[in-house]
Structure 1
Amino acid sequence: SVNRLGAPDVFNNNGTSGAWVAGTTDYVFNLVCSPLLAVGDASNAKFSYYPNPVVDYLNISSSTKVESVSVYNIAGQKMPVSAKLVNGKVDMSKLAPGVYIITTTLDGGKNESFKVVKK
């Protein structure tokens, strides 16, 4: 079946000296959703993180080796945080208070992502 996003009367530029006209056809949008910042269910007993909310250091433990860690703000911007765990910890002390998405890449390419509140 075909689903419609919007209406066929969306205004568009028809290329005639910048004139804008009412469209007479449906428009098709290809929406691409990247799983990079998706927050999954990290409740798996083999993977854990604490404390949440965090003040300075976020502890991450996993039965599988954590290859890298990325921290993103809620706008999707990558934060300047070390990509490697140091003694199982991520230093978040220099980040402003707010909500962050933590994405870890585990040995074998599996990803775990979760939301953390920084106080």
Structure 2
Amino acid sequence: MAVEYVGGRIVKKAGADLTGKKYYGVKLDAQGDVVLAGAGEAIAILLEEGAAGKSVTIQYLGGTKMVAGAAIAAGVFGNTDANGKLVVCTEAVADTGTGAITGTKAFVLTLEAATAAGQLVPVAIVQGGLQ
């Protein structure tokens, strides 16, 4: 399948049924197909949904919207919950014993608040490091 790059957007094949998942966080599977992101896994946002094997459009740069997984404030860094919805990043914490750093990678910055799950939140994709 050909890949089309248009200003921070890519058209790729859906690796699973993404019907009804517009504005959810997505990632690429091992075959390079678009699938729903799990907790903290988003690399892009689904703009054009589709069934498995069909072409879908994802956005990896710029500004768009995401479906909130819970109430969320404006001006905070976010990523996805286990269902591909927007939630606040967990803060990075260093384990002084092992040196391991845990936390959620910042994927977007919220531009407005959501008062409940299911609301659309304007976001800027930042693809940052740990919160």
TM-based fold match above 0.5: no
* TM-score, normalisation: structure 2: 0.26
* TM-score, normalisation: structure 1: 0.28
